[in-house]
């Protein structure tokens, strides 16, 4: 039923009640099947997050979750739910994960500059990285300005990101490149 109608909240609630001890791997596999068909299904992502929260993740499993969420994002651009899931998982991954995620996010944004969900996720990573001193505001400004295409109209997403970074820089947050 959920493969055909992935946002059926009652069906997900039944699955939660019936999840057997040690059944997390099977449940994660099933939700992945659902997400391959409907990568923007809010209920599917919510259920997957519940399984992860309830059962926990090893650093290796967290990295697998990040990879799966990136696949879902490639299947449906502007996938806010995949970004939220990645942010939930990043703290469970190994230490250099934030830097690697920033790299993946930059790569994504180079080809999806108008993806507001992608920019939202990137901004959240910058906030996490600032705490870990992994990225500077100046370096991010350089990246964002490098995305401008002089022959095309300016992207509103790029403009918003640049304004946010300039405000951080004016506030003396994050240093320079």
**Domains of the chain, each with CATH number or no CATH:** 17-135 (1.25.40.120)
Mean pLDDT of the chain: 88
Q: State residue 134's pLDDT score.
A: 39
pTM: 0.79
What would the mean pLDDT of 153-166 be, rounded to a whole number?
86
pLDDT for the residue numbered 149 = 76
**Alpha-carbon distance values, 62 to 75, 84, 117 (Å):** 20, 14, 21
């Amino acid at each position: 039923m959920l493969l055909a109608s992935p946002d059926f909240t009652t069906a997900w609630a039944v699955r939660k009640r019936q999840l057997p001890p040690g059944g997390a791997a099977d449940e994660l596999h099933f939700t992945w099947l659902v997400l391959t068909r409907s990568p923007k299904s809010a209920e599917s992502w919510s259920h997957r997050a519940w399984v992860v929260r309830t059962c926990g993740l090893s650093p290796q499993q967290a990295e697998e979750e990040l990879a799966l969420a990136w696949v879902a994002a490639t299947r449906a651009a502007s996938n806010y739910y995949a970004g939220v899931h990645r942010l939930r998982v990043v703290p469970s991954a190994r230490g250099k994960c934030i830097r690697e995620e920033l790299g993946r996010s930059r790569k994504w944004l180079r080809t999806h500059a108008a993806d507001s969900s992608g920019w939202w996720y990137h901004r959240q990573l910058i906030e996490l990285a600032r705490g870990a001193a992994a990225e500077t505001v100046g370096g991010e400004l350089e990246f964002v300005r490098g995305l401008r295409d002089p022959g095309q109209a300016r992207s509103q997403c790029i403009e918003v990101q640049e304004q946010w970074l300039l405000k951080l820089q004016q506030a003396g947050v994050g240093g320079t490149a």
